[in-house]
Amino acid sequence: MYSESSIDDVRNANVVDVIKHYIDVKKQGSHWFAKSPWTSDKTASLAINPAKNNWYDYSAQKGGDAIHFVREHKGFTFIESVKAIADICGILLIEEKVSEDEQRKRSYRQELFDLTKGVSSKYHKELTKLSDDHWVKAMLSEREMSEQTVADFQIGYAPAGFKFVTDFVIEKAKVEQAKTAGIVKQKEGRTFDFFVDRLIFPIQDLQGNIVGFGGRRSNDPSRDKEPKYMNSAEGEMYQKQNVLYGLYQARTFIHKFGFVNLVEGYTDVTGMHQNGCPNTVANCGTAPLSPQQAKMLQRFSNHVILCRDNDGVDADGNDKAGLKAAMRDINTCLAEGFKVSVMIFPEGEDPDSFSRQFSDFQIEREQTEIEAKGLAFRKHIVEHSRDAILWKTEKLKIKAANDPHAISDAVKEVCEMLFEIKDDIKRNRYIVDCAKLMKSTPKEFRDIMKSFVAKAEEKSKKAKNLDEGNADTMGLPAGADFTQFLSTGFVTHGNYIWFRGREKFFQGTNFRLTPLFFIKGQQEHKRLCEIVFENGKRRIVDFDVEDFVQMSKFESKLLKIDSLFFMPDVDVKQFKLFKNNVLKNFIIANEVKTLGWNDDGFFAFSNLILHNRMMKEPNNYGIVKLDFPEPEVVAEEAEKIYLDEVDHYYLPSSSIMYKHAKEGDDPYENDRYFVYKKAPVSFNDWMGQMHKVYDSHATVGIAFALASLFKDLFMKKYDFFPLLFLTGEKGSGKTIFSDSVVSLFTFNQKSFDLNSGTQVAFSRRLARLKNAPTALEEYHDNLSDHIFQSIKGSYNGFGRELGKATGDNRTSTTKVNCSLILLSQYLSSRDDNSLTSRSVICHFIKPQNPYTEEQADNLMRLKQWQKQGLSSLLCDLMQYRELIEKEMNTVFVQLTNELKADLRGKDYQERMMQNYLVLLVPIKILQDHFTFPFTWSQIYNQFKNAILDSSDLIVESEGLAEFWRTIEFLLDTRRISDGDQFKIDSPISIKVQTRKGEADREVQLYGQTKVLFLRLNVLHQAYHKEISTRQGAEVIGEGTLKNYFRSKKYFLGSVKSMRFKDTSTSAYAFDYGMMEQLGVLNLVREMEDVPKETKAQHFNEPIPAGDNELFGGQM
C-alpha cells in the first residue's frame, strides 16, 4: 500500500497527461477531446476538462478522475492504477510497511510461477510434435481449433508415461515446488506426473501467471472410468474459486464490448474467442460461480451474460447441470451488483458448438470474415439473451405449477434472489414484476425479505460482540487501543509495551520499538528498527537475525544499546507474540553491496543513487526508494522474472547510525571515498586540463576512465577488460597521474599499497567498486601467488577462489568489479608476461628539469579540482550508457577491421590490440558529444603505435626481461659500473657490422639519440655468476641472448670497436632512449634511488617486517 499523501499526489496529477499517454487527444477551446476507447463511436465523445481535472465519455456514459480512467481503460486495480499514473507523471510513491511474511510468500509464489511456466512450455512443445492421427490432434481438428488459438491459450499435451514432468523437476531440483503446484504427486516413495496422456489447458491469473492446469482425457472407451476433465489439485497455487479461465485473454475485450459471456468449460472459451467473442470466460465446470470470481469480473464490466450449455432436462423434468448452474450463478452475480442476462442456446448445443455453426452474418466492405461474424454473433447474443431475474422467476413458476407448497418455496427462492440486489430502486422494481409473475403481492415479498434482514443483522451483531471491557479496570492507561491487543496480543501506548497478565494488563517494557526495514545482504541480513526510550530519546538500531531467535539474545542486544529491558513478569510466550508481530511488519530493502554500477539498473555512490537520470538521496535510515517499471514477463526470459518486488535500497554509510561515526570506529569508512561531489568544472574542462598536465599520457588516462565507467558492458560482451600498467622510477609522476584518473571517481582516496595491505582488504577493495578504477601501488613480481592471480584474473573479472564453510569441496570466486591501475617501477615478466599482455602500458620517465611555472600552475589547478571532488561528472557521462551499449559491438567490429588493415604485415599481439580497442570504442562513440583534447586521428595513431610497441615488449621472453633486471641489480649492488661493462653516449653516428664480407653500415644519429653500448662477454660473466646463486633460475647463453637482441626494435647492431675505461673492444649497441621509454631498462641511477630490498640484500640490512608481511616472507 502507498501512503495517503502519495495517493493524493496521484489524484492531483494532470488528467490530460494521463489520458494522452494511452489514447490520442486533441484540444478544442479549453477542453480536450478523444474517441471513446470503449465504444465504436467514430466521433470524439470523450471530453476532458482540465479545470476540473476530470473526464466524461458521452457514448459510454462513464467518467471520473485519472485513476478511474486507468482502471476502466486498462482493467487495473486501484493500486495498479496509482502506480501506473505515478510512473507516467514522475510522482514519488511512498510505500507503507509490507510484512516480511507476505514478502516471503510472494517470493515463493513467484518461484512456483516460474516452474509452471516452464512446464506449460514443455506441454505446448510436446503437442506440436504429435502426428496428425494422434487422438489429441483429431480432437482439436474436430472442434476446428486453429493453430492461433492453440498458441494464444498455450494449449499443450501431457504425454503417456509418468516421468515427463517428474524428470524435469528433479533435474531442476524443484520437486517440492512441483508438488505444491500440483503437477507431480508422491506416493509410497515414488514421484510421478499428475497429468498423463491428456490435452492440457493452462489456467492463468490476471497477470498471466499460470496457477494450474486442466487436463482432458481421450474418448477411448477404455478410459470411460476416468474423469473427463481433471484440474490441478487445490492448494497454495490454485484455488478454483479465485480464477476464471480465459480472463487474462478476455479482459481488454470485456472493457471494449461492455459485457462478459460466462460459459462452463475450456473449449467453450476457446471456441467463443476464435469465433468472434473474445469477451468470454469460464468458471471451469458446473460448480457455482464463487463470490471471488464475481468480484474479479466486476473490475471489467457490470453486465454478465450467462451462456450455459442447454443439455435439456432429465426423465423427471428437472433441469440438467448446465441450466442448474445458471440458476445458482444469478444470485451470486446480483450480490456483486451485476446486470445479469441469460443466453439459452438451442437444446443440445453448447457455446463452442453454437459459435462454430453460427452463420447469420454478412461481410461488409473492409471487413474480414471473422470481424463480420464476431460483430453479428455478439449482437445475436445480446439480442437473444433474457433478463436473468425474470427468466429464473418464470422457470420457478412453471416448475411449481399449482402446488401451494412448491409455490411457497418458489416465492422464497425468488425473494432470496431479489434480496441480493443492493440497489433499492432496482430491487423495488423487480419486486413488483416478480410478484406479478408469481401471482403474489409486493407486500408479501417485502415481508419475506424483512426476515432475511433480521437474520443478517443478528448474525452481524454476534460477530461484533467482543468482550472489550473497561480500560481502567483492565489495567491499561487511558486512551490505549484495546483492538491492538485483539490482533497482536499486546498494546503499545506511549513509550511502553503492555502485556496481559492473569488478571489485568501490566507495563512490560521501558521502551517502544517500531520495525522499519528488513535489510537483505549477500550473506548477512539486518533488521532496522527505531527504538524510543521512556524519556523520548530515539535511536535507530540494526538487529541481526540471531537477535530474534531467543528472548535472552534479544535482551542482551537491548543492554548493549542502553539500559533497555523487558519487565520480570514478561514470559517467553509474550515475547514471541511481540517478536512475531515485529517480524511481520518490516519493509524489505536490499543492501547496496557494490558501489558504482548495480545490475538492478542504477549507479550508487555512498550518499546518492543515480537511477533513470534522476539523483535520489537516502533518508536518515540510509534508505533510497527507486521506481521500477513493471517487469514484462516473456517465455524466453523466464529465468529473469523478478522473484522479489524490492524497490528500497540501503546505503549503510548514509544511515544516521554510522553517518557520524568516529575515526577508527567506522565500518564503512572506505565507502565514504566513493561519494557524490558536485564538480566545479565540466567534463570537457577536466579533459582539457588533464591534457595540459600529462600530454599524451592524458589520452590514455581519459580513454581508460571512460571505458572503466562502462566496464560491465565490455565484460558482458567480450569477457575481458584490460589493466592500466604504469611504470617508471620513483619521482617519474606515475602516482600523481594515477591519482588524477581515479579522482574522477573517488574523493581523496589513496592507492592500495600491495606491500602493506592485507589479503582481505585487497579482495574487498577489488570487489566493492564496480565500473570504477582502483590503483594498486608497489607492484613487483615477487607478490604472493594469491595477490598475483587475483590481479591477473581481474582481466576476466575474477579474483581469488575461496573455500566455503559447507563441509564439502564447494568454492566461490571473489569478483573483481573495478578496473585496475598497476603502479610499478618495472613491467611484469612473471608467468610469461601474463600481466603485461593483459595491460595498456604507460611508461613514465623522471623529468630532468623542474616544472616550468606554467606546468606547475596547470598541475595545481587540476589538484584543486580534485580536492573539491569531480564525481558528479560521472552522472553526466552515465546518460550515454544506453548509447554505448547499443553501438559498442558495431564500433568494436569496425575498429577491429580498421586496425587489422593498418597493421597488416606487422608483428603485433592480438590481445594487445584488443586491450587498446576497449579504450578506443567509447571515444569513437562519444566523439560527437564531447570536445576531446585530441582528434580522432591523433588518438587512433597513438594507440596504433602503442599496440606495436607494447607487442614488442610482451614478445620479449621472460628470460631476456630477467637478464635486463639482473643487469640493473648488478649495477645497484656495484658489481658492474658505467664505463667498465657498459656505457651510455649520444654519438653523431655509429658503424654497425653487417654480414661477413660486407662493409659496415653507418647509422646517422646526429647526437640526438642516447645509445647503450654493452661489453656482452664481460657482462655475461657477472650475470652468469649471479644467476647461478638463485634457486631454480636458468642462465641464458650468450648465443641465445644475441638471437633475442636481434628480434628487438631497440637493437641497433654490433660495433667492432668502442672505447671503455680500460680498453677498446667490440660492443652491442641499443637505442637506450627507446628502452627507457618502454620501461625495458633503467641504468641511470643514484644510490638513494635504489630500492631498500636491493640495499638490504647487498649490505646485509634487515627488511622491515611490515613491508614483507603480506607476501609470507617471499620477496
Q: DSSP character for 566?
A: B
Q: How confident is the model at residue 721 (pLDDT cuts 50, 70, 90)?
A: very high
Task: Output b/e per residue, 807-824; b: 16+ Cβ within 10 A.
Answer: eeeeeeebbbbbbbbbbb
What number of CA atoms fall less than 13 Å from residue 603's CA on the CB side? 26
Q: Rounded to 5 degrees, what are φ and ψ at 220?
A: -60, 125
Strand partners, 589: 519
Residues near 565 by Cβ (< 8 Å), separated by ≥ 6? 509, 510, 555, 558, 559
Distances (CA, A) of 993 to 317, 720, 1007, 1070: 122, 45, 20, 14
Strand partners, 163: none
Q: Name all contacts of 368-376 with Cβ < 8 Å and 24+ positions apart.
A: 370/275, 370/276, 371/276, 373/275, 373/276, 374/275, 374/276, 374/277, 374/278, 375/276, 376/276
pLDDT tens-place string over residues 288-339:
888 889 998 988 889 999 988 776 666 666 777 767 888 889 999 998 889 9
Sign of the Cα pseudo-torsion (1059, 1065, 1071, 1072, in order): negative
pLDDT tens-place string over residues 809-836:
444 566 789 999 999 988 887 887 889 8
pLDDT tens-place string over residues 370-426:
778 888 888 888 888 999 999 999 989 988 888 889 889 999 999 989 988 878 789
Residues 630, 870: Cα–Cα separation, whole Å: 34
Residue 905: CB atoms within 10 Å: 4
3-class DSSP assignment, residue 114: helix
- Element containing residue 530 per DSSP (H, E): strand 525-533
pLDDT of 100 over the 90 cut: no
Task: For residue 1008, give the C-alpha cell.
Answer: 640526438
Residues 542, 623: Cα–Cα separation, whole Å: 13
Q: Residues 47-76: what's their mean pLDDT?
A: 81
Q: How confident is the model at residue 125 (pLDDT cuts 50, 70, 90)?
A: confident
Any idea which residue has 499523501 for its cell? 5
Rounded (10°) angle between helices 734-742 and 683-694: 180
Q: Are 202 and 255 in contact (CB under 8 A)?
A: no
Burial label for 339, CB within 10 Å (0-12, 13-18, 19+), is middle
pLDDT tens-place string over residues 1056-1067:
999 998 899 999
Helices (H), 65-197: 66-74, 78-89, 100-128, 135-142, 147-152, 164-171, 175-181
What would the DSSP string read from start to end of 422-483?
--HHHHHHHHHHHHHHTT--HHHHHHHHHHHHHHHHHHHHHHH------HHHHTPPTT--HH
pLDDT tens-place string over residues 469-525:
345 556 777 667 777 788 788 988 878 999 988 767 889 999 988 888 888 876 678
Residues 319, 350: Cα–Cα separation, whole Å: 15
Residue 302: CB atoms within 10 Å: 16
Give the residue with greater pLDDT, 296 vs 808: 296
Per-residue pLDDT, 979: 92
Domains and CATH numbers, the chain: 4-89 (3.90.580.10), 98-238 (3.90.980.10), 390-461 (1.20.50), 490-589 (no CATH), 592-673 (no CATH), 683-937 (3.40.50), 956-1084 (no CATH)
Any idea which residue has 647503450 for its cell? 1012
3-class DSSP assignment, residue 754: coil
Helices (H), 696-784: 696-709, 711-718, 734-742, 759-768
Q: Are 840 and 707 in contact (CB under 8 A)?
A: no
Per-residue pLDDT, 815: 79
Q: DSSP character for 404?
A: H
* N-terminal to C-terminal alpha carbon distance within the chain: 61
Q: How confident is the model at residue 865 (pLDDT cuts 50, 70, 90)?
A: very high
Residues 672, 608: Cα–Cα separation, whole Å: 11
Helices (runs of H) and strands (runs of E) counted in the chain? 41, 43
Strand partners, 696: none
pLDDT of 175 over the 60 cut: yes
Strand partners, 921: none
Q: Residues 524-550: what's their mean pLDDT?
A: 85
Q: Rounded to 5 degrees, what are φ and ψ at 514?
A: -120, 120
Per-residue pLDDT, 933: 96
pLDDT tens-place string over residues 28-53:
877 899 999 988 878 888 888 886 67
Residues 337, 334: Cα–Cα separation, whole Å: 5
Q: How confident is the model at residue 1112 (pLDDT cuts 50, 70, 90)?
A: very low
Lowest mean pLDDT among 165-179, 754-768, 875-889: 165-179
Lowest mean pLDDT among 154-163, 620-629, 1071-1080: 620-629
pLDDT tens-place string over residues 686-705:
999 999 999 999 999 999 99
Per-residue pLDDT, 799: 60
Residues 938, 932: Cα–Cα separation, whole Å: 11
**By percentage, how much of the chain surpasses pLDDT 70?**
86
3-class DSSP assignment, residue 20: helix
